[in-house]
Amino acid sequence: MRFISFKTIPVFLLMIFTGAGGLHAQSAVDLRINEFLVYNDSNYVDDFGEHSPWIEIFNTAFNTVDIGGLYLTDDLSVPAKYKIAAGQPVTRIPPRSYVVFWADNMPTRGILHLNFSLREGKTIALFDVNGRTLIDSVSIPRTVLRNVTYGRIADGGSAWSNLEKSTPNANNDTSDKVTSGELFMQMDPSGLGMTVIAMSIVFVALALLFLFFKYLVKVIGIDVKKQRQSRAKIRAKTGTQTWAGGDDTAGLELSGELNAAIAMTLYLYSVELHDTENAILTINKVSRTYSPWSSKIYGLNRLPK
């Protein structure tokens, strides 16, 4: 018995191809070093109540990403400097969320405490589970301000700056945001703009379908006229009458009257079928073979002795 036919090979190849990404790590490429603080005198405190340098990692994806098993380092020549513990709830970063590591060189204090500290000129880097593939890195500027974090202006964005506010475990962009709904309200208070734009898009989407199917018959080789003519020819050969209108091109076109007439005929025929039923009742004797399963002898109404 063959378990894999030749037809299934392309399917397996496709599965291997699409599943290849899984070898990389579960969406680890979506992680970004988002913000860090080198000199912490009066900023965020750790779980030991101490002010320590910290690094924030941001999950840019819309699914949970497990950072466990990946490597953090401050030296690109030593990528596997600190292996993040795997299988821990705290290393599972929810969608569009954060995790903060303490760069206090105190790894015995917990899995979020790194075995290095931060200094100007160093490079913070995040490596994949294989310890070779670089996911993200950032060089610490030569001049960093005390108690002022350096981070991406927008979470996961490419531009970096000293941030106005320290935002560990929070969005780096602290400016007031206008929702797209509010923006529409400001720019288009009557809703006319929305109507014009949206109706245009609806029309474009459905017009695409219209054009596609208008020309589809030609693309896939269906000639409607030829189809009609050939059916008319078949009818002529078999001696069936042409339809109302009589011409060949109207081959498949049934008039409303004809449709109604056919429907009425069928209906009357079905009604007629039941009108002349005879009233002879035939009674046949049915012989039943004996079975102990249906025997009354073994019925439940028989009282136990």
Which residues would be at the binding site for another protein (CB under 8 A)? Answer: 180-182, 184-185, 189-192, 194-195, 197-199, 201-214, 216-217, 220, 222, 224, 227-228, 252-257, 259-260
- Alpha-carbon span 81 to 77, nearest angstrom: 9
Question: Distance between terminal CA atoms of the chain?
Answer: 60
Closest by CA to 166, choosing from 51, 59, 37, is 37
Q: Which is nearer to another protein, 214 or 233 (CB)?
A: 214
Q: Residues 163, 151: contact at Cβ < 8 Å?
A: yes
- The H-or-E segment that residue 134 falls in is strand 134-139
CB of 227 to another protein, least distance (A): 7
Q: Residues 131, 71: contact at Cβ < 8 Å?
A: yes
Q: Which is nearer to another protein, 49 or 246 (CB)?
A: 246
- Alpha-carbon span 208 to 197, nearest angstrom: 16
Q: Which is nearer to another protein, 39 or 188 (CB)?
A: 188
Closest by CA to 135, choosing from 34, 30, 60, is 30
Q: Which is nearer to another protein, 139 or 195 (CB)?
A: 195
Closest by CA to 31, choosing from 9, 57, 3, is 57
Q: Which is nearer to another protein, 90 or 252 (CB)?
A: 252
Q: Which is nearer to another protein, 5 or 289 (CB)?
A: 5
Closest by CA to 173, choosing from 185, 190, 159, 184, is 159
Distance of CA 29 to CAs 2, 97, 118, 216, Å? 39, 15, 23, 42
Instruction: Give every strand in the sheet of 123-127, ordered side by side.
Output: 82-83, 71-73, 123-127, 134-139
CB of 230 to another protein, least distance (A): 12
CB of 220 to another protein, least distance (A): 6
Identify the three-state secondary structure at position 96. coil
Q: Which is nearer to another protein, 148 or 250 (CB)?
A: 250
CB of 181 to another protein, least distance (A): 4
* Strands 92-93, 65-66: pairing kind: antiparallel
Distance of CA 175 to CAs 60, 150, 164, Å? 19, 17, 10
Q: Which is nearer to another protein, 95 or 191 (CB)?
A: 191
In 60-154, which ranges are E strands?
A: 65-66, 71-73, 82-83, 92-93, 98-102, 123-127, 134-139, 150-152
